[in-house]
Amino acid sequence: MWKLGLPLAVVAIAGVVAGTSLAARSAASPIKVAIMTDCKGAFGGAFEVDTGGALAAFAQYAGGKPNDPKKPSAGITGAAVAGHPIKIVGYGCGNDTVPLAISETKRLMEQLGADIMIGPLSGDEAVTVAHYAVSHPKKTFVIGTAGSQDPTLQIHPKNLFRYHGDGAQWNAGIGEIAYKRLHWRKAAIIMDDYSFGWTSAAGMIADFCGIGGQIVKRVFPPLNTTDYSSFIQQLPPPSKVDGYFWVVGGTGTGASLKAFTQAYGKLKASQFIGNLFFAFLGNFSEVAPQLVGSYVGGFGTAPGLQTPAAKHYEGIVAKWYPGLNGGNYADGFVYNYFNAAWALIRGLKAVGGDLSQGQKLLQSHMPRTNASGYQVSSGGLVHLDSRNQAIQDQYPLQIVKTGGKLGVSLVGFVPNVDQTFGGLFKTTSPPPSEKQPPCVKHKFPWTGKIRVIKNGHITNQVIK
Amino acid sequence: MRKVAGMPAKVAFERSVAGVVLVMLAIWPVVFNGQSYWVSTILTQTFVLGIAAASLTFLSAYGGMVSLAQVAVYGTCGLVFGNLVATGEAKGLHLGWDRWTSVVAAIAITTGITVVIGAVSSRSSGIYFLMITLTFAVIGNAFFTSVVDFGGFSGVAGLDSYTPSPVGNPNTQPARLYYIGLVLSVLIYALIRYLVRTPFGIALQGVRDEPVRMRSLGYNVPLIRTLAFALAGLFASLAGILYAWTNGAVAPGTMNLEQTVNLLIIAVIGGLARIEGAWLGAFVFIYLNTELFRGNTVPVLGGTFPTFIGFIFLAIVVVSPNGLLGIWDAIARYLFGGPRGGSREPLADLLHEVAGRMRLKGGASTRPREQE
């Protein structure tokens, strides 16, 4: 009897073990996602805005429901992909500095055990996260909104993706506008002395020099400078140059412009072009009225663009988080985090939420294109290049005054801007810095193809 | 005072606890998961910040010098190391030196800088010493932020790829760095305990208590202070190297005012009167920051971590200026008897008073508290 009983018992135990193991495998394990942004420092105010952008995508495309439509960081419930619940394990709280970016990344990925990170927010933080991604190939990172070039061009870990442009891409086309519309030939540039300042300035320098302009002076105030008078003195006076490219952010925008007025009197709008920081008019409200008419580099977004895709995107965010960012859904913080989360969801759906094999399957199935709301070229699809970096339309802006109120308006459409600027920036070239890039003539894919935007509509007329 | 095995009961108890803690720390990565967050971050960071805080506590406890420059010292060492060793995509000088050479050179350069800082600061004391060292901390931060050739605001990243082979990859082999931090912590603790009993240590304590008398006895007070400062700089430099390996990046933000204050808080929470307080304070600070402050606000109490730790700091300063170890000292006197604390220990005084009234161990002695 025992001779029969033993094999039966073995089979029964094997069956139970196999059944348990099968059940465990088929049980939908949660997908743990962390959202990394800033809640302190210069961009601390973007914390809820970034979070809202990302969670709106989880609500729209993964079936989640915001716990509090007025406070995105209250989280969502019910989001899932292929039966795998999406669990937002934590919200990173950076302050724009490297040390906190490291500790917050470790907290989210190691202590809270996130599988995937959406973030971070700023340039140096993204460099830090890219280095972290290199040494953690079994995790996946989708940059939230960060403008440094290094993470994808020089460092380019295979498990890191960026579905928006870098700071240089955001300024594509602005040099050509300066050259053609304002007839600038010689210009000076003042830039915040750190990764984002350099990358943002690199776009302006490359674009302006590419078409034949000359940068005669580069000035670098350290970040968080309060007294800009000595840096203004380093700039050539207004009579010696045709204009100034202004790449000073945060409270520095107003302080530096004010220092300029103290040295040279009232600002002449046609002599100033700012990067995206000129679009944050509240940061320099005292001198902003003098800059009505100044051109502004973009943020990869198109506020006021009248296309169905743009309206659709804005409608989604308004549906889940009405009034987010004061109703300005075209802000790059909202838009870029939204697209990052959306692309991630699409990648997860493509693999049925399977994070096995060290997430290799997910990383190889992350979408190579995304139908981002403000993309018009290539059938409305943003494409990733071989280094997982977006090739994206850009939209130069202009400071305008309508109904007595200051704002920014779309002026141009620069199609399909790639990170290399048509081969000018290379994987082997040094990242943007005080001396990089040099001022050289170069033909870009978009040179002579920047189209005029009128009342939010892209026309066939090119900027001359 | 009760005695156990020929030594005061309190000392015997403390040594037993220290032994148990050391054994637990030694077997932790083996018994528990060697890859865990506790090993890779909480405890390794405790060793790193503990060593940095020990340099501050050493100066304070035995030299009477509360230095705010220690964070700048370890940040400088990390940045010098990063600039010397890194190459390729990293920002900085891209010198690409040999890894061990870079470690030795960074420690030597930074210790040399602390000799200069110490020489300048050594002729002042009290609040003036505090201000001078704070000035050096601010200069260090501003210098590395402004000089872009050394990495600028972004600092130098990717340093976890430049560890010497015994250290391994801190991301995949965190236990190695953990053990290096543990061994260095024990060695530095032992070295300080040894040093304070040498003629140099005795002279340093003499300078702390009676600088004028020491000068009149023929001691070169500024030289003794400078040497102590350089020694503390050496400890902080070691912490800087460990920091660079653990975090993989060093930037001026590593040595900004917030971090400077954080190290002071760590030393004060642990206790500025005893060296071991540095590691205790570091552990409490990191544990609260990572385990309690898992979100962006402190659960139940609300508020952010800086607010929370600020209240703890205030409470420590008011209730027990000698930190958590001061509280332990008070409890130990209650439990084991012994000399009472002075007016600097309100909690100790209170407990002692209670003990006296209840006619328990310990009398109402007014002897000065025991010095190391």
CATH number of the domain that residue A277 is part of: 3.40.50.2300
Which pLDDT band, with edges at 50, 70 and 90, does A193 fall under? Answer: confident
Alpha-carbon gap, residue A462 to A316, rounded angstroms: 32
In this complex, the residue of A110, A193, A434 whose CB is nearest that of residue B37 is A110
Same domain, yes or no: A267 and A373: no
Q: What is the pLDDT of residues B324-335, one digit of tens each?
A: 999 998 898 888
Tell me the two tokens of residue B98. Answer: 């040999």
Does pLDDT of A18 surpass 80? no
Interface contact A74, partner B, CB < 8 A: no
- The helix or strand, by DSSP H or E, that contains position A35, with its residue range, turns out to be strand A31-38
Cβ(B141)–Cβ(B257) under 8 Å? yes
Does pLDDT of A448 surpass 70? yes
Average pLDDT on A76-85 reads: 96
| pTM for the full predicted model | 0.87
Same domain, yes or no: A437 and A385: no
Same domain, yes or no: A98 and A201: no
Cβ(B224)–Cβ(B198) under 8 Å? no
Instruction: Report how many Cβ contacts below 8 Å link chain A to chain B.
Output: 96
SS percent in chain A: helix, strand, coil, step 5: 40, 20, 40
Tell me the two tokens of residue A194. Answer: 């750190």
The pLDDT, as a whole number, for residue B367 is 38
**Distances, alpha carbon A16 to alpha carbons A3, A75, B182, B276, B322, in Å:** 21, 39, 45, 53, 60
Same domain, yes or no: A156 and A214: no
Average pLDDT on A258-269 reads: 96
Same domain, yes or no: A261 and A375: no
Alpha-carbon gap, residue B175 to B40, rounded angstroms: 7
Supply the Cα-derived Rg of chain B in whole angstroms.
21
Q: Output A223 or A10, whichever has higher pLDDT.
A: A223
Cβ(A160)–Cβ(A153) under 8 Å? no
Q: Which of A371, A392, A413 is the last residue of a domain?
A: A392
Cβ(B75)–Cβ(B249) under 8 Å? no
Residue A283 counted as domain residue: yes
Contacts 24+ apart (CB under 8 A), B291-298: B291/B42, B294/A90, B294/A107, B294/A111, B294/A112, B295/A90, B295/A91, B296/A39, B296/A47, B296/A73, B296/A91, B296/A93
Cβ(A202)–Cβ(A437) under 8 Å? yes
Residue A216 CB contacts under 8 Å (≥ 6 apart), including other chains: A186, A187, A188, A236, A240, A241
Residue A24 counted as domain residue: no
Tell me the two tokens of residue B336. Answer: 């084991």
Closest CA–CA distance from residue B84 to any residue of chain A (Å): 18
Closest CA–CA distance from residue B297 to any residue of chain A (Å): 10
Q: What is the pLDDT of residues A348-361, one digit of tens each?
A: 999 999 999 999 99
Chain B residue numbers touching A111 (CB-CB < 8 A)? 37, 41, 290, 294
Which pLDDT band, with edges at 50, 70 and 90, does B349 fall under? Answer: low
Region of B5 (left: φ > 0; alpha: ψ -120 to 50; beta: rest) is left
**3-class DSSP state of A70:** coil
- Whose tokens are 């997908």? That residue is A31
Chain A residue numbers touching B40 (CB-CB < 8 A)? 106, 110
Same domain, yes or no: A183 and A156: no
Same domain, yes or no: A153 and A179: no
Q: Which DSSP string do the residues of A199-263 spell out, in sequence order? A: HHHHHHHHHHHHTT-EEEEEE-PPTT-S--HHHHHHSPPTTTSSEEEEE--THHHHHHHHHHHHH
Average pLDDT on B102-129 reads: 95
Mean pLDDT is lowest, of B149-158, B249-258, B342-351, B356-365, for B356-365
What integer best gives the mean pLDDT of chain A?
92
Residue A25 counted as domain residue: no
Residue A206 counted as domain residue: yes
**3-class DSSP state of B338:** coil
Same domain, yes or no: A400 and A440: yes
Give the chain A residue whose CA is nearest to the CA of B40. A110
Same domain, yes or no: A288 and A375: no
Residue A285 counted as domain residue: yes
Q: Which of A332, A357, A392 is the last residue of a domain?
A: A392
Does pLDDT of B35 surpass 80? no
Residue A449 counted as domain residue: yes
Give the chain A residue whose CA is nearest to the CA of B87. A430
Cα torsion through B276, B278, B282, B284, rounded to 10: 60
Chain B residues bordering chain A (beta-carbon distance below 8 Å) = 37, 40-41, 89, 91, 142, 145-146, 148, 152-155, 157-158, 160-161, 169, 171-172, 247-251, 253-254, 256, 259, 290, 294-296
Residue A112 counted as domain residue: yes
Alpha-carbon gap, residue A200 to A247, rounded angstroms: 7
Same domain, yes or no: A451 and A384: no
Q: What is the pLDDT of residues A96-142, one digit of tens each?
A: 889 899 999 999 999 999 999 999 999 889 999 999 999 999 999 99
Q: Are strands A382-384 and A369-370 parallel, antiparallel or unpaired?
A: antiparallel
Q: Which of A366, A392, A418 is the last residue of a domain?
A: A392
What phi and psi, each to the nearest 5 degrees, are found at residue A35?
A: -115, 115
Cβ(A191)–Cβ(A123) under 8 Å? no
> Count of domains in chain A?
2
Interface contact A220, partner B, CB < 8 A: yes
Interface contact A195, partner B, CB < 8 A: yes
Interface contact A429, partner B, CB < 8 A: no
**If contacts are CB pairs under 8 Å, which of residues 12-41 in chain A contact chain B?**
39
Same domain, yes or no: A80 and A156: yes
Residue A379 counted as domain residue: yes
Which of A48, A131, A196, A433 to mutate to probe the B interface, most B CBs <10 Å? Answer: A131
Domain containing residue A53: 31-165+304-392
Same domain, yes or no: A270 and A400: yes
Residue A14 CB contacts under 8 Å (≥ 6 apart), including other chains: none
